[in-house]
């Protein structure tokens, strides 16, 4: 465990405390560490932690020099989990937030003489093809910025640890999560019968790991005194196949009525050649065009032909997860999603397999891709 002043617990400075993973990290760290959170607009609003309003894109976090120096004197470990993950932002803003924010926190870690734990993403190993970069500039900017940020971390003059989680789900037991992510919405749309087509093949993999599993691995790394290395916080060989994810969603939909029509899987080359040009055409309704464009973007980035490497279960890095654990966690996440506004709360019975949902244009797309 990191050293601290006599008689006190070590202090971790956490960014991203209000995010999907941040809440789980606070719960994981508090028994052994004092936690100070940097936040921008949204308060952490947790009486167990101290928080400072700061701006990661400003020199010295936008703090007065004296306050910046006092804060650095308190901190034993820097855990940088904040990131711009909204792919609807301007690409330049995504890059600035993820790269410049990381550089600012590295400067702080150097002043504090503290090891730097950097939360990256496993999908830096999933680069987009040139046509995908052009069509999905937000996702392309996100992946490029995380790759650049990793390089800045490696070049920093402080001890650094890089952690690469895959898609972070809600808690493995309760299913709860601080905010519903895009992929959760896409899976919810399968439950509702609103996704007649999906990119990818039956053997494509969608790597998802519960937030408490990721937080435990991060906590173990810090408690174990690890000050170097790169760790993949992924399902690895236990990853769920895309067909297994779809089947789980359809089985969950049985709770609300007849099972919806299963999505048709379309090879990636047909997605670019046929489906996306059709969706982007003038005859496709705008609201549906945005929805299918978003789902295609998410699934193209988050699916993978080969499994990721996984560090879970190695020394000081949490525990591995099994395929069955992940399937159960997915169901619990769907339960929590269904209870939220926009989920299945108060929903009428959904379409049966004999009445596929979605516009006729999307059904035509499946025929074109056959």
Q: What is the pLDDT of residues 48-63, one digit of tens each?
A: 999 999 999 999 999 9
How far is residue 178's CA from residue 191's CA, in Å, rounded to a whole number?
21
pLDDT in tens, 99-157: 999 999 999 999 999 999 999 999 999 888 888 888 889 999 999 999 999 999 999 99
Domain 8-165 has CATH 3.40.50.720: yes
Which residues are registered as beta bridge partners of 199? 266
| The pLDDT of residue 7 | 57
Contacts of 247 by beta carbon, 8 Å cutoff, 6+ apart: none
The pLDDT score that the predictor gives to residue 42 is 87
Q: Which residue has the tokens 């490029």?
A: 144
Q: How far is CA 170 from CA 181, 205, 213, 237, in A?
A: 10, 19, 10, 21
Q: Where in the chain is the domain with CATH 3.40.50.720?
A: 8-165
Residue 356 DSSP one-character state? -
Contact 351, 267 (CB under 8 A): no
Beta strands 34-39 and 50-53: pairing type? Answer: parallel
255-278 b/e with 16+ CB inside 10 Å = b? ebeebbbbbbbbebebbbebbbeb
The confidence score (pLDDT) of residue 353 equals: 38
Exposure string of 47-80, with b = 16+ CB inside 10 Å and e = fewer, is eebebbebebbeebbbbeeeebeebbebbbbbbb
State the alpha helices, DSSP H only, in the chain.
22-29, 65-74, 91-95, 101-112, 130-135, 137-154, 182-191, 211-223, 242-253, 268-270, 276-279, 286-302, 323-339, 360-369
Residues 204 and 100 sit within 8 Å (Cβ to Cβ): no
Interatomic CA distance for residues 138 and 95, integer angstroms:
10
pLDDT at 268: 75
Q: Kindly report the pTM of this predicted structure.
A: 0.89
Cβ count within 10 A of residue 234 = 27
- pLDDT at site 370: 34
Q: Which two tokens stand for residue 281?
A: 């055409």
Structure tokens of 285?
């309704």
Q: Residue 229: which residues within 8 A CB-CB, separation 6 or more?
A: 161, 162
pLDDT (tens, 9 = 90+) of the chain, 370 residues, equals 776 655 579 999 999 999 889 999 999 999 999 999 999 888 998 999 999 999 999 999 999 999 999 999 999 999 999 999 888 899 999 999 999 999 999 999 999 999 999 999 999 998 888 888 888 899 999 999 999 999 999 999 999 999 999 999 999 999 998 877 788 888 999 999 988 888 888 889 999 999 999 999 999 999 999 999 999 999 999 999 999 999 999 999 999 989 998 998 888 778 777 777 877 777 778 877 777 778 778 877 888 888 999 999 999 999 999 999 999 999 999 999 999 888 897 665 444 333 344 444 433 333 333 3
Task: Please provide residue 145's backbone torsions phi and psi, each rounded to the nearest 5 degrees.
Answer: -65, -35
């Amino acid at each position: 465990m990191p050293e601290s002043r006599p008689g006190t617990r070590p202090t971790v400075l956490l960014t991203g405390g209000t995010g999907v993973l941040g809440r789980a990290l606070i719960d994981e760290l508090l028994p052994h560490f004092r936690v100070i959170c940097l936040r921008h607009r949204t308060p952490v609003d947790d009486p167990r932690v101290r928080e400072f309003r700061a701006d990661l894109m400003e020199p010295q976090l936008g703090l007065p020099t004296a306050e910046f120096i006092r804060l650095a004197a308190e901190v034993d470990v820097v855990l940088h989990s904040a990131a711009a993950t909204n792919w609807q932002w301007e690409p330049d803003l995504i890059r600035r937030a993820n790269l410049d924010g990381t550089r600012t926190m590295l400067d702080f870690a150097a002043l504090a003489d503290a090891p730097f734990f950097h939360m990256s993403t496993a999908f830096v190993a999933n680069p987009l093809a040139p046509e995908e970069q052009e069509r999905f500039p937000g996702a392309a900017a996100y992946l490029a910025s995380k790759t650049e940020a990793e390089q800045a971390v490696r070049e920093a003059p402080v001890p650094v640890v890089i952690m690469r989680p895959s898609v972070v789900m809600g808690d493995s037991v309760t299913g709860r999560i601080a905010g519903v992510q895009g992929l959760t919405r896409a899976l919810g749309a399968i439950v509702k019968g609103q996704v007649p087509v999906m990119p990818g093949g039956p053997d494509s993999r969608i790597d998802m790991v519960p937030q408490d599993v990721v937080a435990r691995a991060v906590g173990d790394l810090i408690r174990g005194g690890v000050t170097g290395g790169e760790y993949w916080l992924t399902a690895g060989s236990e990853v769920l196949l895309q067909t297994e994810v779809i089947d789980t969603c359809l089985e969950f939909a049985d709770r609300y009525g007849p099972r919806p029509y299963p999505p048709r899987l379309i090879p990636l080359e047909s997605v670019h050649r046929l489906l996306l040009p059709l969706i982007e055409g003038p005859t496709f309704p705008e609201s549906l065009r945005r929805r299918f464009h978003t789902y295609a973007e998410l699934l193209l980035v988050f699916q993978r032909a080969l499994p990721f490497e996984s560090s879970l279960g190695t020394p000081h890095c949490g525990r591995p997860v099994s395929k069955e654990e992940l399937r159960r966690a997915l169901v619990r996440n769907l339960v929590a999603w269904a209870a939220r506004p926009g989920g299945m709360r108060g929903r009428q019975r959904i379409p049966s397999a004999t009445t596929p949902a979605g516009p006729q244009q999307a059904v035509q797309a499946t025929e074109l891709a056959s």
